[in-house]
């Protein structure tokens, strides 16, 4: 009979440090306290996290380097004022005008149905019954959307929303290379849009940690959506830009409803004065002191989605192979209103070709 020998030699300082880090990471990952009393959160749809705000472990901590202190964004965010975000941004729908528009709208409606089903989104609820009603408790439906459910929806939507700009920018970049010609400014705007959507996702990940099931769903959705959009853009870029315009209409509606929920008192955790936007968001949007609440953050993100709606509806109105990008162009004559990177002259339904070309 053989008995395995156990080494009784003390660990070196380096080995002890590595073991300590491994134990600490394991404890944080599985929610173990210092006293090793384990608490495993209940498994729910799309996530294994039970808290609204991630505590203890940062999903993407700042790397520690000897010389680099911070990395500035490649595309600084244009400034928005509170008055602009609240008066110029609202839900609007562009009616389809031809077969291409109807195809794009139909695709968005199908995608919206799939996303609502997958994330358990239910917004419309009955009004609470009066206390004098005998069946007040049984007849009143509980409010469907909570802070946690909104974050599930945000994370899933933003993980998909960052795909179209990158795919379109990549394809136009490759076409410019093989065609040996300029792209007239479209590539930069499309890549900046993808970057902006990714910043939305990173901001929400500072508040919420997806579980393994949601990560798997995001992986599958990205694979299907990327390849589908890639093929569609090869055949009809105009339809794809109209599709994204309609998709951003849905995004503006989603954030408008969540802002209404917050302002109507349905999301008390976000209404708490101590709940502040993550530092990542404060730096990216340049949120001023005193305007860093969750409501302020949602106003900034909704304004971004409204800008993407304007940009893509406008690009869908242009000749894809000839027209320059009006959002980065310099106009010969001074104009009272013209497209730009900000939301000063925001047009919810996009600019018509004769207005900008």
Binding residues are 158, 197, 200, 248, 305, 308
Binding-site residues for Fe cation sit at 158, 197, 200, 248, 305, 308
Contact 229, 164 (CB under 8 A): yes
Cα gap 164→300, rounded to integer Å: 21
> Could you tell me how far CA 1 lies from the centroid of its own chain?
61
């Amino acid at each position: 009979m053989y008995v395995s020998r156990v080494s009784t030699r003390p660990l070196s300082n380096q080995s002890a440090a590595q073991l300590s880090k491994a134990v600490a990471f394991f404890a944080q990952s599985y929610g173990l306290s210092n006293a090793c009393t384990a608490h495993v959160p209940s498994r729910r749809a799309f996530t294994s996290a039970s808290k609204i705000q991630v505590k203890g472990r940062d999903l993407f901590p700042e790397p520690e380097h000897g010389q680099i202190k911070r990395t500035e964004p490649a595309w600084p965010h244009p400034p928005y004022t509170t008055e602009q975000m609240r008066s110029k941004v609202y839900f609007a729908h562009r009616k389809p005008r031809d077969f291409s528009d109807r195809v794009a709208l139909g695709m968005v409606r199908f995608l919206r149905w799939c996303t609502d089903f997958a994330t358990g989104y239910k917004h419309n609820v009955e009004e609470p019954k009066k206390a004098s009603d005998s069946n007040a408790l049984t007849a009143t439906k509980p409010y469907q959307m909570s802070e946690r459910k909104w974050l599930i929806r945000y994370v899933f939507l933003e993980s998909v929303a960052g795909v179209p700009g990158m795919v379109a920018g990549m394809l136009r970049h490759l076409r410019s290379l093989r065609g040996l010609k300029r792209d007239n400014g479209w590539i930069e705007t499309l890549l900046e849009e993808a970057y902006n959507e990714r910043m939305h996702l990173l901001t929400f990940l500072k508040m919420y940690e997806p579980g393994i099931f949601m990560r798997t769903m995001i992986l599958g959705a990205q694979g299907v959506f990327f390849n589908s959009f890639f093929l569609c853009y090869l055949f009809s870029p105009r339809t794809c830009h109209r599709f994204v315009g309609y998709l951003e209409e849905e995004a503006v509606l989603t954030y408008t409803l969540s802002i209404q929920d917050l302002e109507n008192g349905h999301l008390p955790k976000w209404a708490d004065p101590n709940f502040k936007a993550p530092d990542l968001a404060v730096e990216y949007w340049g949120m001023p002191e005193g305007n860093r609440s969750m409501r302020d953050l949602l106003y900034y993100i909704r304004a971004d989605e409204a800008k993407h709606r304007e940009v893509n509806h406008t690009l869908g109105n242009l000749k894809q192979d000839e027209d320059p990008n009006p959002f980065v162009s310099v106009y010969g004559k001074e104009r009272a209103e013209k497209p730009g990177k900000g939301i000063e002259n925001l047009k919810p339904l996009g600019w018509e070709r004769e207005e900008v070309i």
